[in-house]
Structure 1
Amino acid sequence: MSSSASVIRTDGLTKKFGRVTAVDAVGLDVREGDVYGFLGANGSGKTTTVRMLLGLVLATSGSIEVLGEPMPASGRDVLTRVGALVEGPAAYPHLSGRANLALLDSAGPDGPRRTRDRRIEESLERVGLAQVDRRPVRAYSLGMRQRLGLAGALLRRPRLLVLDEPTNGLDPQGINEIRRLLLELNREGTTVFLSSHLLGEIEQLCTRVGVLDGGRLVLQDEMDALRGPTGRTEVRTPDPARAREVLASITDVDVEPADDGLLVRGLDPADLNDRLVSAGVRVSGLAPERRRLEDVVLAATTSGTDRFGREGERP
């Protein structure tokens, strides 16, 4: 991934509103093929940053490149290759979803009329609105409006997809459907930039993560690196008491209880397994314990994870 071309790059990106610094010298590095999670508590500056990337808000200082071109100077060309959903979908409430997408498509320079109907149909199908798109948008639920906004972002089959809280208002089934869709689009070659305050959403979807705290980028790395091994081994066993008894006599071995068994430090996993099995302890699984994204974020931020949401929560 490190050799991939940059799709979004910022240097010293700063936005001030009067005396308030909303975004402070942010240096993003989003690479071709990433599912990049832009994580931050509500009010951390995520949406302001996204709006600057798309040329909707002018930066106070710093530079932005999107798809290798400077923004907002090259916005007219760049944005034809970018799909975006920011701060909720906009739509004409008296028109159907299909009619809204037709208007949205005709507003762009690369939406030939001969392919418009097919692309609209494909976009509605992908977000699960093919059967309900003829009703007026004012009759849509919040989740359906989110799906329509995502359909609009997909109309031009973008190289880059920029999404701000895309699962807002969706039920658990809808959230899972959107997750599957984003991963499918990524496999097809679309780079995804996903802004969210939901730790679980970022942890399940993303290959690379940036964490914003109080307007500053405090963390940016590959997900695998952030969730690296802790040095302990997770032991799954139906007989944790017997396993602890066996391990208690071994010098320099630390054992802690876990939900499905034990966490063990100080023994190689193969040696650990041999000792337990030889003592008659049933072992159903052994795996290196990995750091939780929540713990990594908590260590890097001053706001703490109490301001970050988990599944089903909206702080």
Structure 2
Amino acid sequence: MIRTRGLTKRFGPVTAVRDLDLDVREGDVYGFLGANGSGKTTTVRMVLGLVLATSGDIELLGEPMPRSARQVLPQVGALVEGPAAYAHRSGRANLALFDAMDRGGPRASRARRVDDVLDRVGLGAVDDRPVAAYSLGMRQRLGLANALLRGPRLLILDEPTNGLDPQGIKEIRSLLLELNAAGTTVFLSSHLLAEIEQMCTRVGVLDGGRMVLQEQLDDLRRATGRIVLETPDVERATSVLDGRIEVSDGHRLVVRGDDPADLNATLVAAGVRVTALAEERRTLEEVVLAATSNGSDRFSRADGPPSPPGDAAAGVDAPDAAEEVR
């Protein structure tokens, strides 16, 4: 659905994206993860033909970009750098206007499409107030509604939950998973670790404009070969396990081994009470810490309103650049 090879973008002396090989496959919920300033938004804009690459190749839905933009983009829904709208018009009026410009057709069918997407993003009951009076979260929902108007094969979303409260994030997450289950490929750019970990099937991690990791999320979160055990009988468990314990923290023990059922049977046979037992798996945060040069200090770990997207990269001074490095 999206392929890039050697994709590079420079703004004067600043290299925002360097030799990027992106591979988004049909049916993916692909999480494009990177701290603010890592080059995510610049990459998305190049994929959509909004910014020309300095070098490298881009394919969108199997066609070269930006040369095939007219044929390809009608099949793509996108929300990049916040929603565009006429501030003096209502959300419904904005969507009706965008739909008329995009596909035309009878007003009745247009009204049905608009009502449908407003319902899907939780704005169905919104009144006729102008978009200027919308909260940031409502604007984000309106932008997502606009992206859905075409019934796209591919959704490209840049920080789509920016400004939403935890309940709003949960609702948008459920909607995107529903769309994916119905056949829509979703490309989600975010710096929210929790958002990516709960939604995505594949993950790409961008660090300083470079792709440092691209893999199935399940493979990244593979078992570590250790088992986490909780028991009130710590001394007895320690004796039974005979040197296999690597970490002891109160009633919590981390034990070498890859068969929880076998370990449980051994402990129960020895009279050890087991209150919890599970394979240890790496978290996405741990994966990112290991892959990136400065760890995950600039990533958000919990659901909630993130910082504004597109902050300039720390330490970059590029007054002559055409735009911010994002």
Common topology (TM > 0.5): yes
Give structure 1 regions of 4+ aligned residues with deviation exceeding 6 angstroms: none
Question: 244, 251, 258: which one pairs with 1:253?
Answer: 244
- Label 1:209 to 1:173 Cα distance change in 2 as closer, same or farther (>3 A): same
Structure 2 residue aligned with 1:190: 184
CA-to-aligned-CA distance 1:43-66 (integer Å, 9 cap, x gap): 000000000010000000000001
Please say if 1:302 is aligned against 2:296. Answer: no
Contact 1:84 1:161 in 2 (8 A): yes
Letter in 1 for 2:293: T
Q: How far, CA to CA, are the matches of 2:244 and 2:109 in structure 1?
A: 66
Per the TM alignment, residue 67 of structure 1 is displaced from its structure 2 partner at its CA by 0.6
Post-superposition CA distance 1:65-119 (Å, at most 9, x none): 01111111111111100000000011111111000001111221x3433521111
Q: Secondary structure at the match of 2:241?
A: coil
Q: Does 1:36 align with 2:27?
A: no
Q: In structure 2, do the counterparts of structure 1 residues 30 and 96 end up closer, same or farther at CA, with 3 Å as the change threshold?
A: same
1:68 to 59, 62, 66: 62
Pair 58,133 (structure 1): closer, same or farther in 2 beyond 3 Å:
farther
CA contact (8 A) 2:86 2:131 kept: yes
Q: Deviations over 1:120-150 (max 9, x none)?
A: 1110000000101522111110000000000
How many angstroms apart in 2 are the aligned matches of 1:298 and 1:249? 35
1:249 offset after TM fit, Å?
A: 4.7
Q: CA deviation at 1:31?
A: 0.4
1:212 matched to 2:206:
yes
Q: Is the 8 A contact 1:253 1:267 kept in 2?
A: no
- Summarize the Cα distance change of 1:133–1:39 in structure 2 as closer, same or farther, 3 Å threshold: farther
| 1:15 is the counterpart of 2:9 | yes
TM-score, normalising length from structure 1? Answer: 0.92
Q: Which residue of 2 aligns with 1:131?
A: 125
The reply on whether 1:278 has 2:272 as its aligned counterpart is: no
AA at the equivalent of 1:103? L
- Structure 1 segment 1-315 matched on structure 2, within 5 A: 7-108=1-102, 110-113=103-106, 114-237=108-231, 239=232, 242-257=233-248, 261-266=252-257, 268-311=259-302, 312=304, 314=306
SS at match of 1:248: helix
Q: Verify the 8 A CA contact 1:124 1:133 in the aligned structure 2.
A: no
SS of residue paired to 1:307: coil
- Report Cα offsets for 1:264-297 as digits up to 9, x if no partner: 1147423311222123333244321111111111
The count of aligned residue pairs is 305
1:220-279 CA deviation, whole Å, 9 max, x = no partner? 000001111111112244x2xx14532335334024246983321147423311222123
Gaps of 5+ in 2: 308-326
Check conservation: 2:203, 2:216, Cα contact below 8 A: yes
1:259 and 1:51 mapped to 2: Cα distance? 50
Provide closer, same or farther for how the CA distance between residues 71 and 162 of structure 1 changes in structure 2, counting only shifts above 3 A: same
How many Å separate the matches in 2 of 1:209 and 1:290? 17
Note if contact 1:244-1:255 (Cα within 8 Å) is conserved in structure 2: no
TM-score for both structures, normalised by structure 2: 0.89
